[in-house]
């Protein structure tokens, strides 16, 4: 029978919950505008599905909070193995969708989103048993590298390069805590560069190389492969300081951005709320990430601290890449903005991550 210690309730992190609630609410307001054009009833099916997804994500967050996070340490390996089996399924049973086999149930579920959560738990468990401060040689990183490489490799086989990159970066989040000498890091960097060159030559498809080249020069093909990047820049620039107003953005309401409700939802925000509105939302993300680091610092044990660090990484990397992508500072690789973009799997995954962070925070005084 599950039981929540009274001290856990007394120490519930209302600040963290408030930050997340404001971000999700702002995302819904923004999504309503992004999906409003051409909808006679006032609300689109996309918006209604997102509201439902918010409810499911909230329930998942509460469910994660109820279970003492220390119990997850014993379940780390089963969760990790289960996540690997889950992300293999689309390759076996799902048809390709826009070149990738990354979805189940006709595009309703994306297993790779949940693999990041299992990866965080597995790495937190490993570094609980093997403190990062005691890792001083590259050879000691063999196990965590393998833990990271397996899901990244499977997701790459799905041809979902964006999520594979994000999963890799989530794993890399833990590496700054190890005490490997600088020359060893230089060797790893050289090996990584060689791997990237090989991946460019043999791992990427033509359309993926085109996206990267279009990032370097969107004017190469402004009406096709470079279209979204250029239209996004126009939308951001037209917002000016205070924006055009809610549901008043021409780029948004005339649907110049094909994926303005998902990958390019920040373009809608920048156009209609301007630099000031965008800065406020980005400030909320910064506060959320700093609060997550505070939770990690004050966690009662190493496992909780590592969980919090992993959650911060899992929220930081997609937020950073998405905003950079929208501003034309990164290639268009299909990365949603956490807690803001449309997407049931991404929102449910974010709910699980926030639940883990709340779990660690509310039990920091429980012994």
Condensed to tens digits (0 to 9), the pLDDT of residues 136-164 reads 777 788 899 999 999 999 998 888 878 88
Predicted pLDDT at 367: 57
Model confidence at 259, pLDDT cuts 50, 70, 90, reads confident
Predicted pLDDT at 60: 95
Predicted pLDDT at 277: 94
Higher pLDDT, 112 or 134: 112
Condensed to tens digits (0 to 9), the pLDDT of residues 346-360 reads 999 999 999 999 999
Higher pLDDT, 330 or 286: 286
Degrees to nearest 5, angle at CA 190 with 184 and 191: 90
Condensed to tens digits (0 to 9), the pLDDT of residues 288-335 reads 999 999 999 999 899 999 999 999 999 999 999 999 988 888 777 778
Model confidence at 340, pLDDT cuts 50, 70, 90, reads very high
Are 58 and 351 contacting, i.e. CB atoms less than 8 angstroms apart?
yes
Q: What tokens were used for 273?
A: 């709320």
Q: What tokens were used for 101?
A: 């086999």
Mean pLDDT score across all residues of the chain? 85
Give CA–CA dist 358/351, Å, rounded.
Answer: 10
Q: Range with the lowest mean pLDDT among 15-19, 126-130, 234-238?
A: 234-238
Predicted pLDDT at 201: 74
Degrees to nearest 5, angle at CA 204 with 169 and 156: 45
Model confidence at 1, pLDDT cuts 50, 70, 90, reads very low
Predicted pLDDT at 8: 65
Find, among 155, 266, 159, 270, the residue nearest to 208 by Cα: 159
Q: What tokens were used for 329?
A: 């500072």
Q: Which residue carries 């799905």 as its tokens?
A: 158
Predicted pLDDT at 285: 96
Taking CB atoms within 8 Å and a gap of at least 24, the contacts of 61-68 are: 61/351, 61/352, 61/354, 61/355, 61/358, 62/355, 63/355, 64/351, 64/352, 64/355, 64/356, 64/358, 64/359, 65/355, 65/358, 65/359, 65/362, 66/2, 66/4, 67/2, 67/359, 68/359, 68/363, 68/366
Higher pLDDT, 301 or 197: 301
Condensed to tens digits (0 to 9), the pLDDT of residues 47-87 reads 999 999 999 999 999 999 988 999 999 999 999 999 999 99
Query: To the nearest whole percent, how much of the chain has pLDDT over 70?
Result: 88
């Amino acid at each position: 029978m599950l039981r929540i210690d009274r001290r856990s309730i007394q120490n519930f992190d209302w600040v963290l919950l408030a930050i997340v609630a404001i971000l999700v609410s702002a995302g819904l307001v923004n999504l309503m505008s992004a999906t409003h054009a051409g909808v006679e009833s006032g609300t689109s099916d996309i918006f209604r599905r997102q509201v439902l997804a918010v409810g499911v994500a909230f329930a998942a967050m509460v469910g994660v909070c109820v279970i003492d996070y220390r119990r997850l340490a014993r379940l780390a390996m089963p969760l990790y193995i289960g996540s690997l089996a889950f992300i293999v399924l689309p390759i076996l049973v799902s048809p390709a969708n826009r070149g990738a086999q990354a979805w189940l149930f006709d595009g309703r579920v994306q297993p790779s989103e949940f693999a990041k959560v299992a990866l965080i738990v597995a790495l937190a468990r490993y570094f609980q048993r093997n403190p990062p401060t005691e890792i001083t040689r590259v050879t000691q990183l063999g196990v965590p590298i393998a833990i990271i490489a397996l899901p990244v490799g499977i997701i790459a086989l799905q041809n979902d390069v964006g999520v594979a990159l994000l999963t890799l970066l989530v794993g890399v989040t833990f590496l700054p805590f190890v005490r490997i000498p600088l020359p060893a890091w230089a060797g790893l960097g050289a090996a990584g560069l060689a791997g990237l060159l090989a991946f460019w030559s043999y791992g990427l498809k033509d359309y993926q190389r085109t996206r990267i080249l279009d990032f370097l020069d969107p004017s190469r093909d402004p009406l096709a492969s470079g279209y979204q990047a250029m239209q996004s820049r126009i939308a951001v620039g037209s917002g000016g300081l205070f924006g055009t107003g809610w549901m008043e953005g021409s780029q948004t309401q005339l649907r110049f951005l094909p994926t303005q409700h998902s990958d390019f939802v920040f373009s809608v925000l920048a156009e209609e709320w301007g630099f000031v509105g965008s800065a406020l939302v980005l400030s909320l993300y910064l506060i959320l990430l700093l609060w997550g680091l505070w939770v990690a610092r004050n966690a009662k044990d190493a496992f909780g601290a590592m969980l919090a660090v992993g959650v911060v990484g899992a929220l930081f990397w997609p937020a950073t890449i998405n905003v950079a992508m929208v501003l034309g500072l990164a290639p268009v690789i299909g990365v949603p903005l956490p807690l803001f973009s449309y997407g049931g799997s991404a929102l449910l995954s974010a709910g699980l991550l926030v639940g883990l962070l709340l779990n660690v925070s509310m039990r920091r005084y429980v012994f």
